[in-house]
Structure 1
Amino acid sequence: MFAVRNIMDRIGWGESKVAELCKIESGEFYLTRKDRLRGARQCIYPRAMLTVSKTSTPHQFQISVSRVYEEDEANILDEDEEEDDDKLFLIDVLLEFDILEQHRRYTFSWRDAQTDDPDDRFEFVADEHMNEASRDFLELTIIRAMYERKYNKSSAGVSLEALRALAYRTKEDVGVSDETEFDVQLAADVQKLSITPNAKSSPRSVSSKSEQATIIPKSKGKAKVGPQKQDAESGSELVSEDASLRKFDVTVGDFIQPAHVTGIIQAKIVDFGRGIPFNYFIVATEDGGSILAHKITPAQAGQWDKNTLSFMWFNPSDIVSPNVHPHSEVWAFVFDDVGQFQRYHAAYSRDQAYVTATWNAYDEDVEMRSASDEEGGETDEEEVSDVLRSDSGPKDDGQQNSNLVVGHNKDRAFVVRGNKIGVFKTGHDIEYSTTMTGIKTSKGKFFNPDKVMLHDQDTSMILMNPSDPHTVYRMDLGERGEIVDEWKIHDDVSIDHMAPNSKFAPTTHTQTFVGASHNGLFRVDPRLSGSKLVDSEFKQYATKAKFSSLATTQLGKIVVALQRNAKTALPALGDPIIGVDVTADGKWVVATTKTALLVFDLTIPEGKYAGQLGFDRSFPADKKPLAKRLTLTPQHVAYMGEISFTPARFNTGPDQVEKSIVTSSGPYVIAWDFNRVKKGQKDKYEIKQYGDTVVADNFRFGDDSDIVVALANNVLMVDKKQLKKPTRESLSSPARTRAIRS
């Protein structure tokens, strides 16, 4: 063991430019669970290969377990079996790595970081040809990787005892008691910070106007506000660089220096983890006292500008008072030189190794503009006028609109409101048509559908009842206007999400459609007797997939979104995916999270299958699709308040080319030019504000200009041309809209 370690030190293990460090070419890959109701041990790959390699981030390493095929086996597997041929694990102490020897075979075991259950573990069982020297080499590679990730420095020269002491801590060392202690300590740390509620233009252009009532003044002596130096040191400091601190003032539309900051501050990133992953804070200190500490979350929408050497982030505000802007705060660090900027950026990104392409590419991030740049936008066009008399629609019933679907074969839109569905004509104007009331089961029990889908040339609508996840209901949209069929999916399988058989299947008489449970995909055929799930087309996954949305292409290829990676494998993207849409040709996908849209190109870029789509061939392990991350600028968010996107949609139609992406947040409809997005112009969005919350919006079918908008209590249709480049005036002044009541 020592001989192996000395050899590794001499070749410069930590500095080697070779990405692959260690490999076991033959073995089996399992997921083990203590909960025997789910199966004590499930084989994921019957033939597998384990590789330890570097990531693109310094001092970050990963375990990759890849499925190994026998000759010609890959060519005869079904597409569904080919979609997930490797699994990646960021090497960290929290994996609780272990090595066992049973029946003359070595088993390498680590925790399933996707679950809170400490007894859920992955196991790679090497074949009988692996010897002790190879085992020792792999072990040393793993524990050195753990050391480098934790301390962000080379492990060269560190004793074997120190490495093992770090890697093989007992469960008590990282158990629940530490989490409780951490919560108490962190609460105490943060409580000491002198932060008030959170705070477009360049941070370098400082307004002469001083900030009022935003930061509690630091007093002298024992009453000094903010934690003392030792408080910051209670965490692990990843970086500290001199910088100027700026805060966006919504009253002047510019960045200013906070009144109680006297000069240069220290911009830091501090890990308060204590065994809990991803507990990192942006910290600013001056003269040893903390000025602010903001937990790093996806909602911050952090943006980097290499032109001004600035980092901006958004911090939500919980406090509303006459002296404090009720929305949110935008802060910025401005660095004096490129080295400071790059070092801080590297530290901020080091724990987000799997999303560096979407998060770290600061040379592609939105360029910050001065307030004057934003003032030149066109004024809003005339607001939407009434299309019917005020008494044309149904009266207020205490409910609110909750869902919207746009028709395919007829100019119709359907809006769910409690246990009613309003029908609207969507010709040149929007016009209320009728309301289908009293949605109820065959037993007379009323329910409010949570998901709906048009079916069979828009003559029917499929409804999901949140109180009965094993059944869907067919509503006749013709003369009857009521539920006429109840389809039991399966006694043991719920249907949590559904999608048409193909993107344009609702324009035909196709009867089947696609469904998903939390960990299974299946086809539903209403023509079957008994359960409607097609057994031969049911794919259930051993891992905790937690499917959250699905969509289909024109050819019926399925895109499915998973929640299981949101909190751990993709900390930078953080929020779970709440919606997904795909272009008709299957080349592009847009996934919606709470604070960002993720746009993926599914074309394999190079290699043997270059030009083919990810539906047809698995992406190479090192060529996974990279997301273009669409967010709103922190300056705009300062006026708009906390962002919570609704599921984004492409414009679509059999003869349509996708040109736009539309979504909403709060009272704002937001649209991106898709052609510009594909070119990397991620800040080219337009906005229109309404006087009520936008529940859902979507393009009229076969049209890329008219957008149907469902507000909480109204329904309207807006021409995309009425969306404008956001300005301070358009974002901060509620728009006066008139529309028909749904």
Structure 2
Amino acid sequence: MNIIKKIMDSGSKPELVSIPAGQFFLLRPESSPKSTLECLYNDATLAIRESGSHRFELVVRKEVDDTELTSGDGGEDFEDDGLSVLSGQSKKEEEWSFNLDKSLHFRKSWSEQGEVAFVWRNTKGDAGEKFQFVVNSEIPLTDVGHFLHTVNVCEYEHKFKKQPSTATRENLRQFEFSHRHDEEAISDEDGDENDENNEDSQLGSKMGLLDLGNSSSESDDGFDSQEFEDAKDNFGSPKHPKQSVKVPNPPSAKTLLREHAALLVYDPTQQQFSLQDPDCGVSILDHGKFEYWLQINGKVLELGVDLTPLVNPFFQEETLCFIFNYSYETITLSYMLKFSDEATFSEFQQQWSKSLWEALNKQKWSAISEKEQRCISNANRDVDKELSLFLQDDDDSSSADSEESDENDEEEEEEEAEREIQSDVDSFDEDKKEEEYRSSTTLSGNKSLTVSYKNDRSFVVRGDKIGVFKVDDENNEVNFVTAINNVSSLKGRNFEPENPMLYTEDRAMIVQDKENPSLVFKMDLERGKVVEEWSAGGKDVLKYSHSKKFDQLTNEQTFLGVSGKSVFRLDPRISGANKLVTEQNKDYATNNKFSSLGTTQEGFLAVGSEKGEIRLFDKIGLRAKTLIPALGEPINHICNSADGKWLLATCDSSLLLIDLTIKEGKNAGSVGFVKSFSKEEMPNIFVLKIHPKTAAYMRTSAKQPIKFTKAYFNTGLNQKEQTIVTSTGPFAITWSLKKVLKGEKMSYRIKRYNSMVMEDNFRYGSDKNVILALKDNVKMAKKTGFKEPSKEMTRQNNWNEFLELSEKAAKRRNQ
């Protein structure tokens, strides 16, 4: 969207440039008795226009829909009329104007949700009040940068009363406030010491101890439209914090390892790690009861974290570095330990891996076999060292096709990104049925997404209703079709359906009621009602799956299920309520806490557990051919490749991509479903996760830890799996299998939405289109619309402000 209007007339005052979509807010200081955040216009434009010789105005204009009321209650943004003390103009006027000069301290900032925003002083209101214009997410970053540059140019012309064509970058820098905190800039001229001291004390109490000691370097306020790359491991000059994070040693801790390493912290504004302490003591401590602690003691900084996947641990073997996240309140920082030699790094890696495994599994490392220990230890190794065997499976022609596909994707990327609108305002058709469907389930929101294979429909559970959607290929949208209302049992009891699974050529759906896990219900989608209820002989049916991967394309009646300690087949054709097939039922003596299952095209079955173990079966009722040991996290979901060579397991903070092809011995070439691995060999496990520096941004902006939704391969008959999709919080994420198998561990791409992504999956038969169920919307995204994580971080980065605020707080404490 091009925002430059090039002297288009607005009455007698020509507009120079505008941001055509956004929200307009009033920001009050925390000391104000009124709300600190008030939305003035929910749909507004921001523009600059000439108001005289060398004079300009900043104009905020409300966008009025033709259907809005022109008078009376409900059609206005304010509750009362009269003159506003904020601007001296009527509260009901649809335009706000401000003389554009340096006194506004106009700057680029970020909203609490991490969205790009413009902020400026309210020069006619109470002390400390500011205005905020949150830019719509569809506006290109280059346009945001151009608008800010135009503001600086106009302020230059107003101050010096001459044309700005000869102004240098240094001339314009005096009008930039994006790298100076607003209150600090105000105090330079107005002496607002009270406001500043109040804010300083609040900051000190919240995050003053997290000062990084990095002075913000000034940079161009415009955005570079070129691709950004993830930061290399460039180490800046030593920058020592003025304050340190003091974390006491846990009491009665036993030291398992003590080494030395340099400590660095990631600065996303510079896209690099900056040195904090060249020589720190690094210890792993045993607190007892399988609780472990990483302690770092340096001359200028001390910190510590629990050994848990929540810190997003990541080893870079090529650089002898270990990266992890440290969270404090709502802020997450990404730290790096750089070891001096390979032996020290290796010893730390082994101790960390062993201690983390014990913490997750609550048992001693020595309790498992050496074979299992090797499998677990190798799971975090560099991917590229083990992938040549798989890559040999691809013939030259398929490899060439894949490369050509990737090149085409890259060519389409920018064009598609500009076309696609990722606004999360409701885009449903305004028909009566849809409004009833949405309004009656507002509090529930969307829960799950099920994609049809047969008829290009998607089903979204929302309360006790199921919304039906279809793809509009012409407009690249997902449109509402109808709703199945008031899902209820045969006895008429309403319930919220869970674990939906399409069935018998997508004409029926299997669902459950969480209040009665021993039953499953068959819903006739053509009639929109439950028509049968089935049980598994008294077992709780925790999860179920098709007997074969593509059974929903057929009229196959049977399907598979698991309870905490059983794997079984159900056949609805058996008379009576109990549909358990006795001959195909495997009961274990102990509760293995089975939690997930998935099948291949031939009907091989993988079963995951809360313990993190995965069992591979060729037939139900027999012992598992292969047991893959637990890395520690529960297995929440399983997706198999059609040929059974690869398994994708979803854990909370990572995905496990498991190579099931046997490489050695008499069974070489078979898969772990059919034959057992030799005594010396175990499946290769490749752990896919978000890099700590990206995770730090995601955790801070979403205010929640990484927790992946169900991950899927793209799916289609006779189609090779090429891409993985999952989500966490408001972020949808894809991995390119081709890049992963070439050793590019950080090959993921991200697309951020303004609401939670509840579930996402590929459209059947393609890896180009992703269907997403947001909390209150259903959308389709092109794979080319996903961006590299550094671009997301650059787009909505609230770290600049944190660094400046913490540095300011440290300076005041030292005075």
Do both proteins adopt the same fold according to a TM-score greater than 0.5, normalized to the shorter chain? Answer: yes
Which of 520, 524, 537 in structure 1 is aligned with 2:570? 524
CA offset at residue 734 of structure 1?
9.0
Which of 310, 317, 335 in structure 1 is aligned with 2:339? 335
CA offset at residue 676 of structure 1?
2.5
**1:384 maps to 2:421:** yes
Aligned residue pairs total 503
**Structure 1 residue aligned with 2:511:** 463
**Structure 1 residue aligned with 2:497:** 449
**Alpha-carbon deviations, 1:267-323, whole Å to 9, x = none?**
1212222xx22x222111136x98111111122222222443321112344x13xxx
After superposition, the Cα gap between the structure-2 partners of 1:609 and 1:309, relative to the gap in structure 1 and judged at 3 Å, is closer
CA offset at residue 610 of structure 1?
0.8
After superposition, the Cα gap between the structure-2 partners of 1:635 and 1:233, relative to the gap in structure 1 and judged at 3 Å, is same
**1:205 maps to 2:251:** no
Which of 707, 724, 730 in structure 1 is aligned with 2:770? 707
SS of the residue 2:352 aligns to: helix
After superposition, the Cα gap between the structure-2 partners of 1:253 and 1:361, relative to the gap in structure 1 and judged at 3 Å, is closer
**1:515 maps to 2:561:** yes
**Alpha-carbon deviations, 1:456-509, whole Å to 9, x = none?**
11110111111111111111111x21111112332x211111001111111111
Within 5 Å, give how 1:378-527 maps onto structure 2: 380-384=417-421, 389=429, 393-394=434-435, 395-396=438-439, 397-428=442-473, 429-478=477-526, 480-490=527-537, 492-527=538-573
Q: Is the 8 A contact 1:242 1:267 kept in 2?
A: yes
**1:271 maps to 2:286:** yes
SS of the residue 2:517 aligns to: strand
Structure having the higher helix fraction is 2
**Structure 2 residue aligned with 1:358:** 379
Residue identity opposite 1:292 in structure 2: L
Which of 256, 269, 281 in structure 1 is aligned with 2:274? 256
**1:580 and 1:571 mapped to 2: Cα distance?**
15
**Structure 2 residue aligned with 1:283:** 295
Bigger drift between 691-700 and 297-306 goes to 297-306
The alignment-based identity, stated in percent, is 35
**1:526 and 1:302 mapped to 2: Cα distance?**
46
Residue identity opposite 2:773 in structure 1: A
**Alpha-carbon deviations, 1:73-129, whole Å to 9, x = none?**
xxxxxxxxxxxxxxxxxxxxxxxxxxxxxxxxxxxxxxxxxxxxxxxxxxxxxxxxx
After superposition, the Cα gap between the structure-2 partners of 1:345 and 1:378, relative to the gap in structure 1 and judged at 3 Å, is farther
Within 5 Å, give how 1:151-170 maps onto structure 2: none
CA offset at residue 455 of structure 1?
0.6
Q: Is the 8 A contact 2:350 2:377 kept in 1?
A: no
**Alpha-carbon deviations, 1:42-80, whole Å to 9, x = none?**
xxxxxxxxxxxxxxxxxxxxxxxxxxxxxxxxxxxxxxx
**1:516 and 1:283 mapped to 2: Cα distance?**
42
After superposition, the Cα gap between the structure-2 partners of 1:335 and 1:506, relative to the gap in structure 1 and judged at 3 Å, is same
**2:571 and 2:211 mapped to 1: Cα distance?**
52
Residue identity opposite 1:643 in structure 2: I
Residue identity opposite 1:696 in structure 2: E
**2:710 and 2:493 mapped to 1: Cα distance?**
30
**Structure 1 residue aligned with 2:609:** 562
Residue identity opposite 2:333 in structure 1: E
CA offset at residue 427 of structure 1?
4.5
**Structure 1 residue aligned with 2:668:** 610
Which is higher, the Rg of structure 1 or of structure 2? 2
Q: Is the 8 A contact 1:211 1:256 kept in 2?
A: no
**1:247 maps to 2:305:** no
SS of the residue 1:509 aligns to: coil
Residue identity opposite 2:305 in structure 1: H
The unaligned stretches of length 5 or more in structure 2 are 1-206, 213-229, 358-372, 387-412, 615-626, 700-704, 799-815
Q: Is the 8 A contact 1:207 1:254 kept in 2?
A: no
Superposition RMSD in Å: 3.1
The unaligned stretches of length 5 or more in structure 1 are 1-193, 217-224, 366-376, 736-742
**Structure 2 residue aligned with 1:5:** none
After superposition, the Cα gap between the structure-2 partners of 1:402 and 1:355, relative to the gap in structure 1 and judged at 3 Å, is same
Q: Is the 8 A contact 2:760 2:773 kept in 1?
A: yes
Within 5 Å, give how 1:649-664 maps onto structure 2: 649-664=712-727
**Alpha-carbon deviations, 1:318-357, whole Å to 9, x = none?**
x13xxxx3xx221111223334333323332344535111
After superposition, the Cα gap between the structure-2 partners of 1:708 and 1:493, relative to the gap in structure 1 and judged at 3 Å, is same
**Structure 2 residue aligned with 1:154:** none
**2:640 and 2:208 mapped to 1: Cα distance?**
43
Which of 655, 661, 671 in structure 1 is aligned with 2:734? 671
**1:683 maps to 2:746:** yes
**Structure 2 residue aligned with 1:538:** 585
Q: Please report the TM-score for the alignment, with normalisation by the length of structure 1.
A: 0.63
Q: Please report the TM-score for the alignment, with normalisation by the length of structure 2.
A: 0.58
**Structure 1 residue aligned with 2:154:** none
**2:342 and 2:483 mapped to 1: Cα distance?**
61
**2:235 and 2:767 mapped to 1: Cα distance?**
39
Q: Is the 8 A contact 2:750 2:792 kept in 1?
A: no
After superposition, the Cα gap between the structure-2 partners of 1:207 and 1:381, relative to the gap in structure 1 and judged at 3 Å, is farther
Which of 316, 332, 352 in structure 2 is aligned with 1:305? 316
After superposition, the Cα gap between the structure-2 partners of 1:427 and 1:729, relative to the gap in structure 1 and judged at 3 Å, is closer
After superposition, the Cα gap between the structure-2 partners of 1:709 and 1:663, relative to the gap in structure 1 and judged at 3 Å, is same
SS of the residue 2:789 aligns to: coil
Q: Is the 8 A contact 1:267 1:283 kept in 2?
A: yes
After superposition, the Cα gap between the structure-2 partners of 1:602 and 1:195, relative to the gap in structure 1 and judged at 3 Å, is farther
Q: Is the 8 A contact 1:596 1:631 kept in 2?
A: yes
After superposition, the Cα gap between the structure-2 partners of 1:654 and 1:572, relative to the gap in structure 1 and judged at 3 Å, is closer
**Alpha-carbon deviations, 1:240-289, whole Å to 9, x = none?**
2222212223444432344xx5x52111212222xx22x222111136x9
**1:628 maps to 2:686:** yes
**Alpha-carbon deviations, 1:440-460, whole Å to 9, x = none?**
112221111121100111110
